[in-house]
Structures are given as C-alpha cells and as structure tokens.
Chain A
Amino acid sequence: MREEQGKHLHGYTAALLGIFAAGFLLLVVFGTKIYLQTVAGQNSNDDRRALLTYLTTAVRAYDGQDAVVIGAGPEGDALLLRDTTADGSYEHRIYLYRGNLVEEYTPSDGALSPDSAEILGQTDTFTIEKEGRTLLRMRTEQGSVLVHLRSGEVG
C-alpha cells in the first residue's frame, strides 16, 4: 500500500515537473518571438524615420534659388544641394552607391567620389522626381517622402 502510494507520488511529482518545464519553455519561446518581432519593427521604424527625415532636413537646409538640383549619381539619381559661399561653390551630394545611400560635401566642379563618401543608411533604391509646382518626391527602400520647396525652385 505504502509502495503504491510512493509510486503515485513520484508520478505526480514528475508530472508537475513536466508541466513547469513545458510552461517555462513555451513562455521563453513566446517571449523570444515577441521580442524579436518588436526589435525588428523598432529597427524598421527607426530606419524609415532616420533616412527619410535626413533627406527632408537636408533639402530644407539648402532650400534656396538654384540650390536644389536633381543630378546623376553612379547608380541613378543624385540629390545635389548647392552651397554658394564667398570662397566658391560647394555641393552636398546624396546618392545611391553599393546598396547604401551616401553623402559627400565637395566643390561643385569636383567629380563624385563614392568610395570616400559617408554612409547614411542601407537602401537598394533611391529616386528623385519633381512633382507638381515645387514638390520633390524622394523614394528609398524605406518609403517615399514629399518635400515642398519654399524657394519654388527645383533644378
């Protein structure tokens, strides 16, 4: 009788342990999945905001007569933001190069030097279109952004 009770108790303890282990395992798997999804979503939101906001801010900073120009980069469109100073004319150039959006600041008459350009972020596409009267639409892999030029000029 006592032996039978002991067996029963062992079985009960083992079942309890199994329930605890399975519960913990499920919780860890579920938690990990949610964590990975949340981090991926956060990174995607950050990338989207960072790159598109940077482009908007750059255009806004240079928005002036003949300052915003759509040019040609090594792999498609290039955003050329002209900065004319007493020392000469410079360009802030943003374009696509080897899967990255890159930028450089160089004299206007200088050639593009993508190998030494700063990487802004990853994207496989970068196009710029003029829309409406004074609208500039820039598209990257993360999305597209419209910028209204206060100066009313797109070169």
Chain B
Amino acid sequence: MRRHTAFYMSTLFLLLLFMGVLAVLTGVFSQAQKKSAEAKQLTAATELARNAAEAVADAGSRADLLTLLQESGNAAMDGETVCASYDEELRPSAAGIYRVSITYEPTARIGGTLVNSTVTVRMGENPEAICSLSTAVYIRGERAG
C-alpha cells in the first residue's frame, strides 16, 4: 500500500512538472506570436513613416503635404498636424488602423525656410507610437506655411 502511495505521489509530481513545462512552452510560443505580430506592425509603420518623410521633403507647405497624402479621404488636418490613415494592407483608408501624424513646423531662416517635422505612426486609438522619426527640409527662397 505504501509502495502504491509513493508511486501515485511521484507520478502526480511528474504530472505537475509536465503541466508546468507545457505552460512555460505555451507562454514562449505565445510570446513568439506576439513578437511576430509586432515585427509586422513595425515593418508597416516604418514604411508609412518613411513615405510620409519623403512627402514632407516634397511639400512646399502644410496644405501641399495634405494634398500629397490625400487618397480616398484618408488625410485631414488636426489642428496644425496632418493626419492620414491606412488599412492593414497599407492602403489609404479613412477608417484605417494605422494613424500617421505629421507635424510641420516652418521656421524662417536667411534665404529660405527650415521645416522641422516629426512623423509618428500609431495603431488605432492606442496612444503609444509604433515608430516615430524626425526630419527637416530646407525650402529655398519661398516661405512655407
């Protein structure tokens, strides 16, 4: 009887250990899946931010920038910030999950205007940025607004 009890106890311990290992490995796999999803979002966000920075380089003014990003009603002004939305496939969409906000701050310099801009990409209503970059462009002669 004692021998059987010892057997039951050791198998029970083994079972608990096995459950623990399963829980740890499942947790590791879940983390891997989460990191993979984050990597996909980061790749998409980097592409959107890079494209927005190129648009800033081309735009002569805030209104120009809005026009450049405007496709299917996805871009709008939010105060002094230009905001554009893109769906999961990075297609312009007013109801898109990726929100790109671009600040456009012109400063008069000798012989032209220096425009500082910060591009921030967020996911949906999440206030935390997926990625953010700062860029600057010098517009010779004319005044950017």
Contacts and interface: CB of A to CB of B under 8 A. Distances in A.
A132 B64 contact: yes
A133 B26 contact: no
Given A23-B18, A147-B54, A30 B68 contact: no
A45 B36 CA distance: 10
B110 to A, nearest CB: 21
A125 B11 CA distance: 60
The prevalent SS among residues of A at the interface is helix
B29 A41 contact: no
A148 B4 contact: no
A124 to B, nearest CB: 14
B44 to A, nearest CB: 8
A129 to B, nearest CB: 11
Contacts, number: 78
Given A16-B11, A144-B90, A27 B22 contact: yes
A146 B55 contact: yes
A26 B23 CA distance: 12
Interface size class on chain B is 20 to 34
B43 interface: yes
Contacts of A20: 18
B50 interface: yes
A133 B47 contact: no
Interface residues of A, number: 34
Interface in A126-143: 131-135, 143
The prevalent SS among residues of B at the interface is helix
B47 A34 contact: no
A31 B58 contact: no
A89 to B, nearest CB: 28
A146 B58 CA distance: 10
A19 B55 contact: no
B43 to A, nearest CB: 4
Given A5-B4, A132-B58, A135-B68, A37 B51 contact: no
B25 A31 contact: yes
Given A45-B39, A133-B60, A19 B33 contact: no
Contacts of A146: 50-51, 54-55
Interface of B: 4, 7-8, 11, 15, 18-19, 22, 25-26, 29-30, 32-33, 36-37, 39-40, 43, 47, 50-51, 54-55, 57-60, 64, 67-68, 90
18 contacts: A9-B7, A19-B18, A23-B22, A27-B26, A31-B29, A37-B33, A38-B33, A41-B37, A42-B36, A42-B39, A45-B43, A48-B47, A52-B47, A132-B59, A132-B68, A134-B58, A135-B55, A143-B47
Given A31-B25, A34-B33, A132-B55, 5 more contacts: A42-B39, A45-B43, A48-B47, A145-B50, A147-B54
